[in-house]
């Protein structure tokens, strides 16, 4: 661990600072220190961020950097960083760049050799995942799905076989439609979690099948308000090892009587597995046998 006193803001550095997603108590002491001592804070919405900064008695000047001006402004900010200024980047909530502005600035700063220093903290996706009870070893974050129905369904159709936990951000206006599409395309029985208003007064984390969640949200207008993360369990995969153990046993028997190619061909016909995979496995078995 590093002593926080060794971490006083460095000139010519860009700090990417995570801010709360609801509960102000989640702003880290390090974030407060950095936001107080940098020369300027680049904020997505200066009016919104001023309230946060006032709460912590932070008086650092703000500059607005949002999706409409970021490309134009980033080169100027990088020039100032190169000249030795220190700058912190924040968004309205959570971690900048995660479905939020900042990508152009960070990319340009790194290309210019500016030191970019992350100050980690809340992000709705990790917050939701950590309490969801769904598999966390492999997950895919898709951010916001397309707003238009046809494009949204096309994206979901690409994702429904993925074995990783799927994490989505969804607007409260589209949550009913989105859950209905998910239930239809992924199957109503697939396990899912709706995480709403995390870290806030009406925090709700509910797990159920997609069909149950879709019905529950459609029937209760309160569940159609606020900020929402949706998580869907990955598509169950066939138990590969069991299949290959059985296939291997079959191959071993066939190899007692037949050449490799024929044994693989017959095993493929019997098991429905890929002929090339079985041929490769049969070759390995034969090599092991022949020493
Ligand atoms: N940068 C943010 C982060 O790190 O999570 C995300 C910003 S994105 C514009 C806003 C979306 O994040 C919301 O529409 C919602 O899907 C999700 N979100 C943000 N705060 C949330 C909260 N307190 N509870 C649930 N979802 C939240």
Q: In terms of domains, do 152 and 115 share one?
A: no
| Residue 203, domain member (yes or no) | yes
Query: How many domains are there within the chain?
Result: 3
Q: Supply the CATH number for residue 41's domain.
A: 3.40.1010.10
Give the integer Cα–Cα distance in Å for 122 and 90.
Answer: 12
The radius of gyration of the chain from alpha carbons, rounded to an integer in Å, stands at 26
Q: In terms of domains, do 94 and 138 share one?
A: no
Pocket test residue of 202, 229, 230 for ligand 1, highest count of atoms within 8 A of CB: 229
Please report the atom of ligand 1 found closest to the CA of residue 95: 4
The CA 94 to ligand 1 mean position distance, Å, reads 7
| Residue 155, domain member (yes or no) | yes
The CA 134 to ligand 1 mean position distance, Å, reads 19
Is residue 198 lining ligand 1, measured as CB closer than 6 Å? yes
The pairing of beta strand 87-90 with beta strand 40-43? parallel
Q: In terms of domains, do 52 and 112 share one?
A: yes
Please report the atom of ligand 1 found closest to the CA of residue 91: 1
The CA 230 to ligand 1 mean position distance, Å, reads 11
Q: In terms of domains, do 112 and 136 share one?
A: no
Give the integer Cα–Cα distance in Å for 184 and 5.
Answer: 54
Alpha helices in 38-166 (DSSP H): 46-55, 70-82, 103-111, 124-132, 149-159
| Residue 239, domain member (yes or no) | no
State the pLDDT at residue 272: 84
Q: In terms of domains, do 118 and 137 share one?
A: no
For the purposes of burial, counting CB atoms within 10 Å of the CB of 22, is it exposed (0-12), middle (13-18) or buried (19 or more)?
A: buried
Give the integer Cα–Cα distance in Å for 267 and 288.
Answer: 19
Q: In terms of domains, do 265 and 177 share one?
A: no
Return the structure tokens found at 254.
């066939």
Is residue 102 lining ligand 1, measured as CB closer than 6 Å? no
Q: In terms of domains, do 131 and 185 share one?
A: yes
Is residue 20 lining ligand 1, measured as CB closer than 6 Å? no
| Residue 4, domain member (yes or no) | no
| Residue 32, domain member (yes or no) | yes
Q: Which residues of 140-162 are buried (b: 16+ CB within 10 A; e: fewer)?
A: ebbeebeeeeeebbeebeebeeb
| Residue 217, domain member (yes or no) | yes
Residue given tokens 């290309």 in the structure block: 111
Say if pTM beats, i.e. exceeds, 0.85.
no
Q: In terms of domains, do 143 and 182 share one?
A: yes
Length, in residues, of the chain: 291
Is residue 234 lining ligand 1, measured as CB closer than 6 Å? no
Q: In terms of domains, do 203 and 257 share one?
A: no
| Residue 238, domain member (yes or no) | no
The residue from 232, 261, 280 where one domain ends is 232
Q: Give the pLDDT of the chain (291 residues) as one tens digit per residue.
A: 655 544 677 889 999 999 999 999 999 999 999 999 999 999 999 999 999 999 999 999 999 999 999 999 999 999 999 999 999 999 999 999 999 999 999 999 999 999 999 999 999 999 999 999 999 999 999 999 999 999 999 999 999 889 999 999 999 999 999 999 999 999 999 999 999 999 999 999 999 999 999 999 999 999 999 999 999 999 987 665 555 788 888 999 999 999 999 999 999 898 888 888 888 888 888 888 886
Please report the atom of ligand 1 found closest to the CA of residue 125: 5
Q: How many CA atoms lie within 13 A of 68 on its CB side?
A: 2
The residue range of the domain holding 278 is 245-290
Q: In terms of domains, do 68 and 97 share one?
A: yes
Q: Which residues pair with 13 in a beta bridge?
A: 115
- Kindly report the CA angle at 106 between 101 and 110, in degrees rounded to 5? 170
Q: In terms of domains, do 56 and 82 share one?
A: yes
Q: In terms of domains, do 85 and 37 share one?
A: yes
| Residue 140, domain member (yes or no) | yes
State the pLDDT at residue 5: 47
């Amino acid at each position: 661990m590093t002593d926080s006193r060794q971490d006083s803001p460095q000139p010519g550095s860009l700090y990417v600072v995570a801010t709360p997603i609801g509960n102000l108590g989640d702003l880290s002491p390090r974030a407060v220190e950095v936001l107080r001592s940098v020369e300027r804070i680049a904020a997505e919405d200066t009016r919104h961020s001023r309230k946060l900064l006032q709460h912590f008695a932070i008086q650092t000047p703000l500059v607005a950097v949002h999706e409409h001006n970021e490309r134009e402004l980033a080169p100027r900010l990088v020039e100032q960083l190169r000249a030795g200024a220190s700058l912190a980047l924040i968004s309205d909530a959570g971690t900048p760049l995660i479905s939020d502005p900042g990508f152009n600035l960070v990319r340009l700063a790194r290309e210019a050799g500016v030191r970019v220093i992350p100050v980690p903290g809340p992000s709705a996706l990790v917050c939701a995942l950590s309490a969801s009870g769904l598999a966390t070893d492999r997950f895919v974050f898709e951010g916001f799905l397309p707003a238009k129905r046809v494009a949204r369904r096309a994206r979901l159709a690409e994702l429904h076989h993925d074995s990783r936990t799927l994490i989505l951000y969804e607007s409260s206006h589209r949550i009913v439609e989105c859950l209905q599409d998910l239930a239809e395309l992924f199957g109503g029985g697939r396990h899912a979690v709706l995480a709403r208003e995390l870290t806030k007064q009406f925090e709700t984390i509910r797990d159920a099948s997609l069909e149950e969640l879709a019905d529950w949200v459609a029937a209760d207008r309160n569940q159609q308000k606020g900020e929402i993360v949706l998580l869907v369990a990955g598509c169950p995969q066939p138990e590969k090892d069991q299949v290959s153990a059985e296939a291997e046993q079959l191959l071993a028997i066939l190899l007692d009587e037949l050449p490799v190619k024929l044994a693989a061909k017959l095993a493929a016909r019997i098991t429905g597995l890929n002929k090339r995979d079985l041929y490769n496995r049969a070759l390995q078995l034969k090599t092991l046998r022949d020493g």
